[in-house]
Structure 1
């Protein structure tokens, strides 16, 4: 993966997309919360009911200020393959090649697409994707991880009882972020990378 990706100019024919996933525990209160009053915040009881977890797939194009979050019940190979198909067929249908930044999770492989689709379709999707993996101990180099953190702070930092509510809240957040084309001010330069990630760069002897 090249650190220069994040400081390059957006090319619609070769869009840069960062991909990552996270999870959200679904929690429902067991008692009606006390509403907010003048001089007093809303209060809710500490007791709650767990309603399982949901998976969040994040696709983030930092040079465009665009993101899409898909809520699913799981994150197995078939789900990952569906996200790749979405990127190629729906999000960027006119792209020649999508430069995809992702971590080394075991589902993030070409074999996932061959497991999900007929060989010809899997090959067609993969021909439009160019995989770039972050270092195994450097997932923070993936801007999708940063955008997931923004989502967590701005939208998910509270009790959400079910997937329908979760999808509605995330859709509203996504729409607002995309309308204003929010992006990330990436300040980690190539020179910084050569210092912090010295073990990944070749040593040149005079």
Structure 2
């Protein structure tokens, strides 16, 4: 359905809390930011589908090379070209979408949430709150992310291992995808969306 090998950033919209850079070079999208940032894919996605990409948390001595927050939203009901946000995490509370925070909170948690469009309310089930080392980020280590949105069946996997599955009685079946991070340096490549 879609692919991006990051020759440029024309397929993406960036929301920055406090500066930083989002650039495309050598087949990689580099997100290098001192505070919050969300980078939205411009095209609405319609399920059933599979989203795949490779990602790495960079730790090579750069100013923002903090290994944390390889996060994403998917099936967001708000068109990011029409609803602008300021990059702070709280500004996304009103979304209706799915979200995974991989290595969040300074790489101490990995969490799945189903956003319901209520300020201050980001529901979190106990089984979707992971903190064991195998669920966190390793610096400078490429990893393959795979997201499934197939009607009620929602799934998030890393390197072939499923971290979260969710059977949604009222699924979000279309919407927008966004990469999210806070005070870190990420590299993204080989972005693909498949009909699922």
TM-score by length of 2: 0.25
Q: Which has the larger radius of gyration?
A: 1
Question: Relative CO higher for 1 or 2, CA cutoff 8 Å, sep ≥ 6?
Answer: 2
